[in-house]
Amino acid sequence: MPVKKPKTKKKSTNKKFVPNIVAFACNWCSYAGADTAGVNRIQHSPNFRIIRTMCSGRVTPAFILKALKLGADGVLVSGCHFGDCHYIFGNYKAVDQFEKTKELVKTLGLDEKRIRLEWISAAEGPRWAQVINEFTEQITALGPSPLNHKPKFNK
Ligand code: FES
């Protein structure tokens, strides 16, 4: 008499994609904006890691490319509005660097929408939440990064 194999549950393969986002936020404005969102308990998507930099101008193309290499599906760079940068021209430098990074990202065959540059002040908690939610939606629509094998920054 043949022995019946016990039924095993099939693993679900349609797991919803949750993007890993790295957000570089300048110390003086955007990081404080993220803090404002938290203090005011503004709900937003939680799937990002924030990295505080002294200025958005400090975020070189190497920072963004390394984040993508290490498993980020999207990278946000955020700093003070023009005229508010504590290093006067830091955010103008950030714009130049970001444009160069966009070209590099395209050269790598990635969609340029995987990176985003935003200006968010310390008082703009709701705007921080809105940008994070929008960017998360945008990256979710794009799907996992082709470079993303296994995120290393989650370990
Ligand atoms: S200090 Fe915030 S962008 Fe320069």
Fold of 21-142: Rossmann fold (3.40.50)
pLDDT recorded at residue 148:
73
Task: Name the H helices within the chain.
Answer: 30-39, 61-69, 90-107, 125-142
Backbone angles phi, psi at 135, to 5 degrees: -65, -40
Domain ranges of the chain: 21-142
Q: Is 43 within 8 Å of 129 (Cβ atoms)?
A: yes
pLDDT recorded at residue 16:
86
Q: For a pocket test of ligand 1, which of 24, 26, 119 has the largest count of ligand atoms closer than 8 A to its C-beta?
A: 26
Per-residue pLDDT for the chain (155 aa), expressed as one digit of tens each? 666 766 666 555 567 899 999 999 999 999 999 999 999 999 999 999 999 999 999 999 999 999 999 999 999 999 999 999 999 999 999 999 999 999 999 999 999 999 999 999 999 999 999 999 999 999 999 999 998 765 556 55
State the Cα angle at 110 between 25 and 13, rounded to 5°: 95
d(CA 49, CA 52): 10
pLDDT recorded at residue 15:
76
Q: Is 76 within 8 Å of 127 (Cβ atoms)?
A: no
pLDDT recorded at residue 86:
96
Ligand 1 atom at shortest distance from the alpha carbon of 119 = 3
C-alpha 11 – ligand 1 centre gap (Å):
47
| CA 87 to each of CA 14, 47, 51, 59, 118: distance values in angstroms, whole numbers, following the listed order | 47, 30, 19, 14, 17
